Structure 1
Amino acid sequence: MAVLSIEKLNKTFKGGLFEKDRHVLRDVTFSLPEGQTSGFVGSNGAGKTTTIKCLFDFIRPDSGQINFFGAPLTSESKTRIGYLPERPYLYEFLTGMEFLRLHWNLCYGSAMKDFHERAHEALKKVDLFEARDRRLRTYSKGMLQRIGIAQAILTRPDLLILDEPMSGLDPDGRAMVKDILREEQKRGVSLFFSSHLLQDMEELCTHLVVINRGQILYDGVLSSFMAEFQSLEKAFSVLKGKEEGRV
């Protein structure tokens, strides 16, 4: 079963008085297999973040169908999804634990009673347990990225969607985030993360979705893709060339 399926998603942003409309997504269609790690790769401005924002209705698409676990998004299915935006807004006056409590209450309210167990588990996974009572304003950039991941995995989601989770991190921070994602893979979580860094895809993914200028160029098994092109860097260059009429 596909944990996420998107069919013919279109989005146009209206231009200003002297600007043309921007057709950002053009019949975007792809699906994510259950239990696998899917990479969403494309150049900056290719449409990755716009697509992800459309998934949660942060941006209203012009047309298209989006299904999670075989049906449109509902309040119940939202509890099965963890999400980290590209630029998360973190309330710097909160402590790490308070930040996680805020997200827990938004997801469950007071219906679930095991917050502390889940919070401690998430904080230990991202190596922030000792910093749990520090205010976020005292966290480094890498720590802020990890507390964002902690809130995404807090509810033990079945599907984890991360938008550029390693953007701007130093090598140590990138390595730690990759280790966290590998732990989630072992738990059987379906992972979907975007990046413009092809090395991340090669290291972590089994499935690949390639987007360029708002159009899907490839949706399928990563190993088949690699067998044809040997490297993602070469493949992405060839696919872009074909789509833009250079090859």
Structure 2
Amino acid sequence: MDVLSVRNLNKTFKGGLFEKDRHVLQNVSFSIPSGQTTGFVGSNGAGKTTTIKCLFDFIRPDAGDIHFFGKPLSSESKTRIGYLPERPYLYEFLTGMEFLKLHWNLCFGSSLKNFHESAQTALKKVDLLEAKDRRLRTYSKGMLQRIGIAQAILTNPDLIILDEPMSGLDPDGRALVKDILREEQKRGVSIFFSSHLLQDMEELCTHLVVVNKGRILYDGVLSSFMSEFSSLEKAFAVLKGKEQSNG
């Protein structure tokens, strides 16, 4: 069963007095298979973040259907999903541990059953265990990104959705995040992450969703996508060229 199914998603942002309406998403449809890592790739401004915001109803789509685990998004399904936005808001006055506790409470209420064990495990995975009692205001940019990933994996979710998870990280930070995603893969977690960096897709993904100018150009197995090309970069360039010539 697909853990996420999106059908005919449309979103238009109304223009101002002298601006045209922006058709950001146009009949976007794709599926995320269970237990696989799916990359969501496209140039900056292609519609990746808008799509992800629509998934969680942060932005209301004009039309379309979105189902998690076969059903519309609900309080129950939210407990099975880990999420990290592209630009997360982090409460800098909290410590790393307090930040994780806040997200645990938002997910499970006031019950702290299994929290400390889960928090310790998540902090260890992102190499922040020794910094757990420091205020977030003292964290570097890379550390803030890693504590964000820690909250995304905190509850042992069945599906993890990450928007540009390696944005702004140095090479060591990028390598650590990739190792975390590989470890989650081994546990059978379904992963959906967006990026404009094609190398990340080649290294981590089994499936691929390609978006360009709000339209889906490809949704399927990565190996099939690359079978005619020597690299993902060349395949992506050809698809964009075909879409532009047809447009």
- The TM-score by the shorter chain falls in which range? over 0.9
- Offset at 1:113? 1.2
1:97-246 pair list within 5 angstroms: 97-245=97-245
Query: Match for 1:165: what amino acid?
Result: P
Instruction: Supply the distance in 1 between the matched residues of 2:112 and 2:128 (Cα, whole angstroms).
Output: 23
- Offset at 1:230? 2.1
Give the alignment's Cα RMSD to 1 decimal: 1.0
Structure 2 match to 1:90? 90
Structure 2 match to 1:81? 81
Instruction: Supply the distance in 1 between the matched residues of 2:164 and 2:225 (Cα, whole angstroms).
Output: 22
1:7-86 pair list within 5 angstroms: 7-86=7-86
Instruction: Supply the distance in 1 between the matched residues of 2:178 and 2:192 (Cα, whole angstroms).
Output: 13
Instruction: Supply the distance in 2 between the matched residues of 1:156 and 1:94 (Cα, whole angstroms).
Output: 22
3-state SS, counterpart of residue 65 of structure 2: strand
3-state SS, counterpart of residue 245 of structure 1: helix
- Offset at 1:226? 1.1
- Offset at 1:87? 0.2
Instruction: Supply the distance in 1 between the matched residues of 2:3 and 2:157 (Cα, whole angstroms).
Output: 12
Instruction: Supply the distance in 2 between the matched residues of 1:116 and 1:154 (Cα, whole angstroms).
Output: 10
- Using the size of structure 2 for normalisation, the TM-score is 0.98
- Offset at 1:204? 0.1
Query: Match for 1:28: what amino acid?
Result: V
3-state SS, counterpart of residue 185 of structure 1: helix
Instruction: Supply the distance in 2 between the matched residues of 1:246 and 1:72 (Cα, whole angstroms).
Output: 34
- Offset at 1:115? 0.8
Instruction: Supply the distance in 1 between the matched residues of 2:86 and 2:75 (Cα, whole angstroms).
Output: 22
Unmatched segments (≥5 aa) in structure 1: none
Q: Give the number of aligned pairs.
A: 247
Structure 2 match to 1:2? 2
- Offset at 1:201? 0.1
TM-aligned CA distance change 1:72 to 1:112, over 3 Å: farther
Runs of 4+ in 1 over 3 A off after TM superposition: none
Instruction: Supply the distance in 2 between the matched residues of 1:237 and 1:117 (Cα, whole angstroms).
Output: 46
- Using the size of structure 1 for normalisation, the TM-score is 0.98
Query: Match for 1:21: what amino acid?
Result: D
Instruction: Supply the distance in 1 between the matched residues of 2:226 and 2:112 (Cα, whole angstroms).
Output: 44
What fraction of aligned residue pairs are identical, expressed as a percent?
84
